[in-house]
Each structure stands twice: as C-alpha cells, then as structure tokens.
Structure 1
Amino acid sequence: MNENYDVVVVGGGAAGLSGAVALARSRRSVLVVDAGEPRNAPAGHVHNYLAREGTPPAELLALGREEVLGYGGEVVRGEVTSAAALDGGGFEVGLADGRTARARRLLVATGLVDELPDVAGVAERWGRDVLHCPYCHGWEARDRAIGVLATNPMAVHQALMWRQLSDDVVVFSHTAPEFDAEQRDHLAARGIRVVAGEVSALRVEGDELTGVELASGEVVAREVVVVAPRFTARAGVLEQLGLEPVETVVGGQVVGSAVAADATGATEVPGVWVAGNVADLKAQVVISAAAGLMAGSMINADLVAEDVRRARAPFSHEVEREAAALVGGPDRHGV
C-alpha cells in the first residue's frame, strides 16, 4: 500500500472490482481493500451473468482481481474499520491491522448481510438448498419439491414466483400474518398448498435436505426451502461519513436497508460513491458489476473536472495579479 491514491475502493466484490477496473483503465491510482467475505460465497455458481453463466463466485472474483492488477491497480486483503473526511479535501481510511491510506475519492461497495429466519438448519443449508431468489437459483431447483417458509406478507408472491419452476410448491404459514381470502385464492388457483403451524427445523439426511419439521412434530417432505432474509446494508464505514442507511420497502413490507444514492452511485457526501448491494438490495452480480462501472466512470469524470480546476489555478492567480496592477496604475490620461 502507498499512502495516497486517487480512489480507494472499499469492498472487492463484483461492484468494487468493476469500478476499480474502470478507474485503473483511466490511469487512476486505485486501491481495493477487500475483507474477503463475499455475500455469495455459499453459492456454487453465478447465474444470469452473460458469458459467465455458471462461473463459481470465487473464480469470478479472482479473475476480477487479476484484471485490476493488470491495469496497475492494487488489491489488498483487509477490513476497513474507519473512514474520515480530511480538512484539506479527500479522505483517510484505516484498516483493522493499523494500515492507513488517503484518497481523493471513495467508492464503497461493501454489500449487505442476509439475516436469515431463526430456524434450525436454515443457516447451514443457505445457498445450497435453502434459497431466496428464483432468478439466482430457480433453474437448478426446477421440478423439485419446494417449500416456502412464510415470514412476511411477501411469501405469497414468493410462492407464485417459484410455482413457475415447479408443480410441487407448498407454503408453510410459519410466522407470517394470516393470508387473506384473495391471497389464498391466488395460491389455490396455482395448486399451492398451505401448511399451517410454525416450523421448528429442517430435516437433513446425509448431505441432502429431505423435509421440513413443524413444531407439532409433523414432517413434510421437501427438497428445497425458500426463505425471505432481511437484507441489511454493511454500512459501518458509510455511517462514519454521515451516511445512514434507510429502510427499503417492497410491497408495503420493510425488507431491509440500503444507502441512498443517485443513478450514478453518488451519495449526499461529496466525493463518496456507492455501488452494488450496499445501495441496491435487489442487484444480482451482473447488476452490481454494472453499477460499479457506472460509479467508476463518474468518479473519473469528477476527478477530471478537479484536475482542470487545479491546472487553471496558477493562471487564475496570474490574471488576478495583473488586474490588481492595472487598477493601481496610471489612468488613461497618464496622471
């Protein structure tokens, strides 16, 4: 690590690396600090990423780091624990191991945390046969026995989405509010059965999910369980800069939090951009990568404008001195 960079990127996932590549290709000095805790680490493959379909997440990130390095950027493993604006402009970030770096701009792509339902077995099977996104894992779960663990009113929508992929979908009412008549009608129309009662655990035999156990002791055979996590932005660094995450509401239901930004990733704090799941909990890998590219290009444009201002400053001072000399010199009659 050097002491000074044009940009420090906090987070080495798809968003952060994509932004770093865009900046490094523009010949900006870039440091990526990656804690090595990607959200999609439990998943076997990345999907819906054109020309990278089925790539393991770790492989995709390794390729991204190589691209950043190939264009002269730097990537270090570490956790950013502090960030502060400097009086003279720019920012200083501190790592858990005591290292520090300064940057003219920050791109924060720290992602989010999936807060899972408190049911035995859910966390252990997460990303394998406990899933949440039909676009991320739906094809792989097609035609299997799917159970939807209802924890909020969005469960009906989830069930209808997954019904597109399998004829065998069951909704476990669990802790969700009671479904109204219209919701039950929609489920019945698609042949989706509702199982009443709270779920206590998932049944696993060998290394395969085999069923869902209710508090009553009844076990319903299932091969896949769909859950609705709460998506909480990893915003600790941003909070230190005055950027508090706000609640994200979908269908009238609070589903998580995110840090507000405009379409380019610019936040309310000048010089700070965000990209990926920290700003958009719905963003899949390819969308996060696109957001990183957008933020990286906008940061470069902002730095270009600042470079022009800095380059013009000496000329501006010279013009001011000449104007001052003329004001204090002889008038047009030579008096």
Structure 2
Amino acid sequence: MNEKYDVVVVGGGAAGLGGAVTLARSRRSVLVVDAGDPRNATAEGVHNYLGREGTPPGELLALGRAELKAYGGELVSGTVSSAQALGDGGFRVRLADGGQVLARRLLVTTGLTDELPDVEGLAGRWGRDVLHCPYCHGWEVRDRAIGVLATGPMAMHQTLLFRQLSDDVTLFTHTAPSLSADEREELDAVGVTVVEGEVTALEVTGDRLTGVRLRSGEVVAREALAVAPRATARAGVLAGLGLETAELEVGGHVIATYVPADAQGATSVPGVWVAGNVADPRAQVIASAAAGVGAAAAINADLVHEDARAAVAARRASR
C-alpha cells in the first residue's frame, strides 16, 4: 500500500463514512481506514436518525460502506499507528500492519472511549440496560424502574431528564458530591427517590438487569441504570502531528476530552480535519454524520483551490 489519495479518513463510523461518501461523490480518491470498534457497537439500534430510526449500528455502517464503494471509495480494516506531515503539505499514514499510504488531506473520525464507573457487572450491561443518554435510549426504557448512578456534576441533570420518561426514578448518590438542600427539594417535588450509599454491583437475572446492590448489602430493584461515563477522545494518531486534546468541564469537573477545531472541523494543523465524537463528545450519530459531511465539503473546497493554483502554475511554466 503506497498509493496516494486525495483524502485518507481515519475511522469508519458515521462521521468517517459520511465524510468519505461526500468526498467520493465529488470524485476525490478516498481511503477509509477503520478498526471496526464503534462506540455504539453494543446498542440495539440507532435513534433520532431521520429515516433510519432503530437501525442496528452494524447495519447502518454496512449501508454506509456499500454507498462508499458504489462511488469508488475504498475501505480497509485496520488501525492507523501514526501520521507524519510531509514537506509538500501532504501526509504519510502508517498502518499497524506495516502498510503505508500518502494523503493530501486527513479527516480523523476516531471517536471516543467511554470510561465507565467501576461497579461489578456494569460494563457487561453497557448499551443494553445500562445507558447514558435519554435521547439515544430513553424511549426504550420509558415507564420502567430507572436508576441513575451519581458519579459527578451531571447526575442531577441526568436524573431530571430520565424523570421525564418514567414516574419511577431513583438517584443513587454513590460517589458524587452531596446534594444541596435545593437539589433535594427539587427531586422530592418531582417524585425522585434518593438512595444514599455506594453502589458495588448490579444484579442480573436471565440476562436482564433486575437490581442495584449497595455496599450495605441492600438491593434496590431497577430495570435500567443511567450512568455518566467520562468520555476520552481517541486522539493518539493526532499526537504525532502536534495536536493535543482539550478538556470539557461542567461545574468544575472534567467530563470529556476532545480535539479543538473550527465549525467545519479544521484543526490548527493545516490539512487535518476532525469530525464526530473525537471533536464533539456530545454528538449523536446523526450529528456525527452531518459533521463528517461538513468537514468533507471544507476539505474538497480546500483541494479545489489548491488544484486551481497548481493548474495556473503549470500553465505559466509551459509558456
């Protein structure tokens, strides 16, 4: 693999495929390098995606890959180990298997990693009945017994959002800062039960969440549990290009890291764009896909102007 592409897209989720298809439709040579481990792999379906409501994540990606191929784009399974800026403004992209390709521009859509609370049994239920986003999965647990595991400053906000979906919501204070008197009054007014004490494990029966176990040994029956994991940008490939992540803070607590970029995804390194959760930890699937499309349009415009300048230079040289 020593080909040169107009654009190499690192990451083949919604943002990467959205950008790659847009570029291929503009007749750009595009290569997508995808490790095959999307953030939402364990989810039953993608929601709030107009026209694709409830589509399993793997099926949505398969549709996107087929669209990319139909427009002449290429995709390889693998991981990018590093990217190096070259003197001509392009990049050398090295893959973990030893292969390498050249690219005029880079679009990095590597997403993020959810760092889950250390509670026995929680990770195994992630994306099923352990949830984080009421907009992504709230409808599916409506009117059920929902718990919220408080680990940071978003617990109160998250609790109120899930209370909109069910009359039976319990907030487990767990390791979060103590609730203020005003917060307790508000929760009491909307009918939310507050349970003090650290949560140590989840109870699962017949492959379903049935309860939350406290350190005291008490088990509180619950059918779904909302958590607020810390989101860490998968930005290792960008480190060699001099790009660092920034911290997203809420109430003085870091809840995520991300790669700073402008509204179209351009980073501070010329020729490098980012899109999706690596740049916006809060973006849902449809927003990530849209960000990929926007970044692709900006990349294509940049290349169009570079091509025009090169054509002018060639014409002048031939006179």
Q: Which TM-score applies when normalising by structure 1?
A: 0.94
Number of the residue aligned with 2:191: 191
Identify unmatched segments of 5+ residues in structure 1: 320-335
Number of the residue aligned with 2:102: 102
Q: Is the CA contact (8 Å cut-off) linking 2:35 and 2:77 kept in structure 1?
A: yes
Q: Is the CA contact (8 Å cut-off) linking 1:154 and 1:253 kept in structure 2?
A: no
Q: 1:24 and 2:24 equivalent?
A: yes
Q: 1:270 and 2:273 equivalent?
A: no
Rounded Cα–Cα distance in structure 2 between residues aligned with 1:269 and 1:311: 25
Quote the offset at 1:17 in angstroms. Answer: 0.3
Matches within 5 A, 1:1-335: 1=1, 3-317=3-317
Rounded Cα–Cα distance in structure 2 between residues aligned with 1:109 and 1:153: 28
Going from structure 1 to structure 2, the CA distance change for 1:2 and 1:71 (only over 3 Å counts) comes to farther
Rounded Cα–Cα distance in structure 2 between residues aligned with 1:195 and 1:88: 61
Match of 1:138, SS? Answer: helix
1:251-278 per-position Cα deviation (integer Å, ceiling 9, x unaligned) = 4431110000000000000000000000
Quote the offset at 1:153 in angstroms. Answer: 2.1
Rounded Cα–Cα distance in structure 2 between residues aligned with 1:111 and 1:140: 24
Rounded Cα–Cα distance in structure 2 between residues aligned with 1:314 and 1:71: 29
Quote the offset at 1:91 in angstroms. Answer: 0.2
For the pair shown, the structure with the greater C-alpha radius of gyration is 1
Q: Which amino acid aligns with 1:288?
A: S
Rounded Cα–Cα distance in structure 2 between residues aligned with 1:271 and 1:153: 37
Percent of paired sites with the same residue: 70
Quote the offset at 1:314 in angstroms. Answer: 3.0
Quote the offset at 1:212 in angstroms. Answer: 0.3
Match of 1:238, SS? Answer: helix
Quote the offset at 1:103 in angstroms. Answer: 0.3
Q: Which amino acid aligns with 1:304?
A: V
Number of the residue aligned with 1:324: none
Rounded Cα–Cα distance in structure 1 between residues aligned with 2:110 and 2:265: 13
Q: Which amino acid aligns with 1:26?
A: S
Quote the offset at 1:49 in angstroms. Answer: 0.1
1:119-166 per-position Cα deviation (integer Å, ceiling 9, x unaligned) = 001100000000000000000000000010000121011100000000
1:210-257 per-position Cα deviation (integer Å, ceiling 9, x unaligned) = 000000000000000110100000000111111101001234431110
Q: Which TM-score applies when normalising by structure 2?
A: 0.98
1:292-317 per-position Cα deviation (integer Å, ceiling 9, x unaligned) = 00001110000000001101113445
Number of the residue aligned with 1:328: none
Rounded Cα–Cα distance in structure 2 between residues aligned with 1:308 and 1:250: 45
Q: Which amino acid aligns with 1:91?
A: F
Identify unmatched segments of 5+ residues in structure 2: none
Q: Which amino acid aligns with 1:165?
A: L
Quote the offset at 1:2 in angstroms. Answer: 5.2
